[in-house]
A and B are shown apart, each in its own frame.
Chain A
Amino acid sequence: QKEVEQNSGPLSVPEGAIASLNCTYSDRGSQSFFWYRQYSGKSPELIMFIYSNGDKEDGRFTAQLNKASQYVSLLIRDSQPSDSATYLCAVGSADSWGKLQFGAGTQVVVTP
């Protein structure tokens, strides 16, 4: 059973602080990794994707990938109340092109 694991939270973060979200995956052959943000009652919105080991920065978001440890993370700098949402980690299946395996999501609450 291929799995993607995330802490469900809620992760409470003061406004302006850094939110750190973690994700581990079991399929060692996975090559593509995505972070989606989902507001309550809405569909997921792509925030970041990462394919190579290391860091990838986009505005206030930084994704980090370590394939050897099968670990991907998302940092949100200068957290804003509008960042309050559930963040879904998704991993591209190594043997089924395009299929994504989703984690259960981490709920982030940014407090003013």
Chain B
Amino acid sequence: GAVVSQHPSRVICKSGTSVKIECRSLDFQATTMFWYRQFPKQSLMLMATSNEGSKATYEQGVEKDKFLINHASLTLSTLTVTSAHPEDSSFYICSARDRPSGGRETQYFGPGTRLLVL
């Protein structure tokens, strides 16, 4: 399957700082990427849809000014958690949509970034 990477895999920061997470599709171009958040023992919750060259679409209840998304190229989307607080501590996972010519589209997930805000 297609490969999606995330960086960093783990980050610990102080409350009030900003953290940037990168999501890259390594062997395909992804016009659309998705950002999810997963709290312990819960399922994935979609935060926003990141579209290359346009503004991200946020799900209800997700603050767009707090979670800044930039999709500057067909292989890179970034999520910046601004002024992070302990309640933002979570597992952040991106996925990239692959639509091969002649095939059906599927989504592949990055390995995730574990954020701990102290």
Contacts and interface: CB of A to CB of B under 8 A. Distances in A.
Task: Specify whether A and B are partners.
Answer: yes
Interface of A: 32, 34, 36, 42-46, 49, 51, 88, 96, 98-100, 102-105
A32 B91 CA distance: 25
18 contacts: A43-B91, A43-B93, A43-B109, A43-B111, A44-B93, A45-B109, A46-B107, A49-B104, A49-B106, A51-B104, A88-B43, A88-B44, A98-B49, A98-B105, A100-B95, A103-B43, A104-B42, A105-B43
B34 interface: yes
Contact of B112 (A32, A42, A104): A42
A59 to B, nearest CB: 14
Contacts of B42: 104
Given A43-B109, A98-B32, 8 more contacts: A44-B44, A46-B107, A51-B104, A98-B97, A98-B107, A99-B34, A100-B34, A105-B43
Query: Interface size for chain B: under 10, 10 to 19, 20 to 34, or 35 or more residues?
Result: 20 to 34
Contacts of B111: 42-43
Interface of B: 1, 32, 34, 42-44, 46, 49, 91, 93, 95, 97, 104-112
A34 B34 CA distance: 16
Contacts of B110: 43
Contact of A34 (B91, B93, B107, B112): B107
Contacts of B43: 88, 102-105
Contacts of A49: 104, 106
Nearest to B1: A46
A105 B106 CA distance: 19
A102 B105 CA distance: 17
A46 B97 contact: no
Contacts of A103: 43
